[in-house]
Structure 1
Amino acid sequence: MNSSLNITLIFTAYGSPQSLNYLFFTFTLLVYLTSVFANSFLMLVIYVESSLHKPMYIFLFNLAINGLIGSSTVWPKIMDNLLSDTQESSLEDCLIQVFWTNFYGGSAYSILTVMAYDRYVSICKPLQYHSIMTPTKVKQLLTVAYIFPVLCLSIQVYLTSRLPLCSYTIHKLFCDNLAVVNLSCIKSNLVNLYGLCIIVALMVFPVCVVLLSYVRILLVSLKTSKEAQKKALSTCTPHLITFINFSLASLFSVIYNRFSLYLPSEINVFMSVHFVLVPPLLHPIIYGIRTQEIRKCIVKMIRKRRVFGGSLDFFTFRSLALGNMH
């Protein structure tokens, strides 16, 4: 076992330092700042407009928090490596990045799942919606969406940290669990089995729940009027696009982890960062464009110049993040 986590790991995917690194750094910085701005702005809109203090938008607020976590876990370290003569990380820092990257993925699926459940209740049980989606229920759903991935991933990172390492080079842009496991001198059946359980619990199961929710929504919508079908489609489209986009990003990540040695370097780079590049960047844009109520609130805020007006109460911010409603 590792007697210490103060082991230095070297990233080889960056190559030797060159002038192009400054160009890549500028592009990465712009992507990161755009992602931070888009998610922060969406959170601000939901915070400021009391009409958006509903379960659907509280879940969206938390999805934006998730996007900030995903972007901030990876991009600052990549930018640091682009400007450094040596691209390296301690094993401890690498495992921390593994935890937060996986937490970003696991909690995103959890939040998207509770959002699908919210849409299901809204469309399939409209008369019971307010009695089902109470403030307490919203808080409970969000608590599970955060706590369950934390518990699962804490165990995974602990098991990975106990593996003895015989190699210290990672052929990727940032740390992921499989990359660290592949550095081990031994093949641990326990680690591999637990990793499979993580995929089933945090990816496969949420996907099944979301698909089941949309099957029920579709069956109910087919029995309603054209106007009701149109309304259901308009409320579900942003979530469906977001869910498909994140699932594709997750699929690319799995393909990259399993077949990166057989792919061209350019495709490797894109697929390695797609998971933390596209979803945090596009999710707030998709909801801002496709959700009529959010668009109206954005226009209203701009006209009243309230975007930066007033003070942000920490307790109101915390209540949105945990699912309290007025």
Structure 2
Amino acid sequence: MENTTASMYFNLTMFVDIGHYRYLAFVFCFLLYSFIIYANVVIIVVISGERSLHEPMYMFIALLSVNSLYGSTGFFPRFLADLVSDRHLISRPACFIQIYIIYTYASNEMTILGIMAYDRYVAVCKPLHYHRKMTSKTVMKLAVLAWICPAFGLLVCIYLSSRLPLCGDKIQKVFCANWNVVKLSCVNTDANNVFGFLLTITTVFLPLCFVLFTYMQIVAVCAKSSAEFKGKVLHSCLPHMVSFVIYSIAGFCDIALSRYDIEEINPFAAVVLSLEFVVIPPVLNPLIYGLKLPEIRRYILQFLSLHKISS
């Protein structure tokens, strides 16, 4: 019976016993999840409903919000159930589904930030060609590319991991992670490691390098321009820069944590670090774009006031 359980279920071992405080944690996380849904839905509705916001930059912001809803829905329902449960078992199919959703969310976030950097690069460095280059057709192609490439790559990655014979069932996480599953393998995992490395380069490091390159070009253009132009560029690019930095730090914490011995870290700190990249960007992105960009902020206030009156 133990072998059957080990082969059919994984045990998420990073949940800390906090006694009755788990109900308080449940309420807090539920409110956080509710805020993520509400804030990102408002961003999507406002941008899709206002024709004046049907521009590439705002469409990509809406795409970020869609991705936040996607990733949060793949994480929070299961996490909330585990908070109030004494057992933290997850079936193998459910585990691999969660891995796929969370990893595609993470990859999508980086690729979307990459195409947003391209949009800002064209707007600042090639303003006369902006409307010719960033047509609605181009925006659609870039959006599809940002979603399709990680989706297919991760299908192969999950397939390779699902075929591995495993000699254990304990995952040192509060959610399923591919690297933690691969570490349980009884056989050689070179194929998984090589493909995972190539996928990481494609969906993480290439967009990262591209974002850094585009901002180097933007900084070079600003250095030769007037103070007024610099102010406009900063106003336009700052929200994206903040989102990129926040997500990069959160993603780095998760990657570093997966390579570190969890038992040597404070359990509460380990849980917080592992949750950063699935919680912080979905919470902060709508706040950053909704509060920083006056074009969006104005329509959000109108939307909220109309919603309040109608209710």
TM category (shorter chain) comes to: over 0.9
Unaligned runs of 5+ in 1: 310-326
Once the two structures are TM-superposed, the CA of residue 48 in structure 1 deviates from its matched residue by: 1.9
| Alignment of structure 1 residues 238-257 onto 2, 5 Å | 238-257=239-258
State, as a whole percentage, how many aligned pairs show the same letter.
36
TM-score normalised by length of structure 1: 0.90
Taking the aligned partners of 1:75 and 1:164, their CA distance within structure 2 comes to: 29
Once the two structures are TM-superposed, the CA of residue 251 in structure 1 deviates from its matched residue by: 0.4
TM-score normalised by length of structure 2: 0.94
Query: Which position in structure 2 is the counterpart of 1:206?
Result: 207
**Which AA in structure 1 matches 2:108?**
S
Change (3 A) 1:306 1:129: farther
Query: Which position in structure 2 is the counterpart of 1:220?
Result: 221
Q: CA RMSD in A?
A: 1.9
Query: Which position in structure 2 is the counterpart of 1:58?
Result: 59
**Which AA in structure 1 matches 2:55?**
K
Identify which of 275, 282, 295 aligns with 2:284: 282
CA contact (8 A) 2:64 2:109 kept: yes
Q: What is the number of equivalent residue pairs in this alignment?
A: 306
Once the two structures are TM-superposed, the CA of residue 171 in structure 1 deviates from its matched residue by: 2.1
Once the two structures are TM-superposed, the CA of residue 308 in structure 1 deviates from its matched residue by: 9.1
CA contact (8 A) 2:7 2:166 kept: no
Change (3 A) 1:221 1:57: same
Taking the aligned partners of 2:16 and 2:128, their CA distance within structure 1 comes to: 60
Moved more, 6-15 or 257-266: 6-15
Taking the aligned partners of 2:179 and 2:263, their CA distance within structure 1 comes to: 13
Change (3 A) 1:230 1:16: closer
Change (3 A) 1:264 1:151: same
| Alignment of structure 1 residues 170-319 onto 2, 5 Å | 170-259=171-260, 260-303=262-305, 305=306
Change (3 A) 1:261 1:197: farther
Larger helix proportion, structure 1 or 2? Answer: 2
CA contact (8 A) 1:44 1:307 kept: no
Change (3 A) 1:63 1:204: same
CA contact (8 A) 1:11 1:170 kept: yes
Once the two structures are TM-superposed, the CA of residue 187 in structure 1 deviates from its matched residue by: 3.1
Query: Which position in structure 2 is the counterpart of 1:116?
Result: 117
Once the two structures are TM-superposed, the CA of residue 229 in structure 1 deviates from its matched residue by: 1.0
Query: Which position in structure 1 is the counterpart of 2:169?
Result: 168
Query: Which position in structure 2 is the counterpart of 1:75?
Result: 76
Residue deviations 1:213-232 (CA, integer Å, cap 9, x gap): 00111111122221111101
Taking the aligned partners of 1:28 and 1:254, their CA distance within structure 2 comes to: 23
Residue deviations 1:42-94 (CA, integer Å, cap 9, x gap): 11111221111111111110000111112111111111112223211101110
Query: Which position in structure 1 is the counterpart of 2:37?
Result: 36
